[in-house]
Structure 1
Amino acid sequence: MTRHIRNFNLEQHQGLLPSPCINVCKMDAERGVCLGCLRNIDEIIAWSRADETYKRQVWQALKQRAQK
């Protein structure tokens, strides 16, 4: 389910960063992240108001989470 995160090329992406949401909104209670996008609840809440720097940081964290 995290293939879209692993395949997203953050380094070559130009323009506004897309949301990692794939409409699979179910939290993994053990890990504390969404099973669809791997964001934690704070990242999900902040996303719509966040600047591109924050979004890039979240994407970097997601790519690391997807490797685990």
Structure 2
Amino acid sequence: MDNSGPVRSPCVSICALDENDICVGCQRSADEIARWSLMTDAERRAVMKLVAEREEKVAL
């Protein structure tokens, strides 16, 4: 992952929360989605790591 530029939203316009309040489209929590525009790029990178971990679990 490139750490030099701004971190773009992982939104794929499939906006629906599962029973754990995780979006089935982008794998962010409802709180992460709500706070995204206020986060620093470092915070966004941390969220993107969580997103990758969640995507791995879904793929299993």
With structure 2 as the length reference, what TM-score do the two structures score? 0.86
Q: Pick the aligned partner of 1:15 from 5, 22, 29.
A: 5
**Structure 1 residue runs of 4+, over 6 Å off?**
none
- Which protein is richer in strand relative to its size? 1
Distance (Å, rounded) in 2 between the aligned partners of 1:13 and 1:65: 20
Can you give the 5+ residue segments of structure 2 that lack an aligned partner in the other structure?
none
What root-mean-square deviation, in Å, do the aligned CA atoms of Structure 1 and Structure 2 show? 1.2
Distance (Å, rounded) in 1 between the aligned partners of 2:33 and 2:23: 9
Can you give the 5+ residue segments of structure 1 that lack an aligned partner in the other structure?
1-9
What is the deviation of 1:45? 0.5
- Which protein is richer in helix relative to its size? 2
Q: Which residue of 2 aligns with 1:55?
A: 44
Q: Percent identity?
A: 33
Aligned length: 57
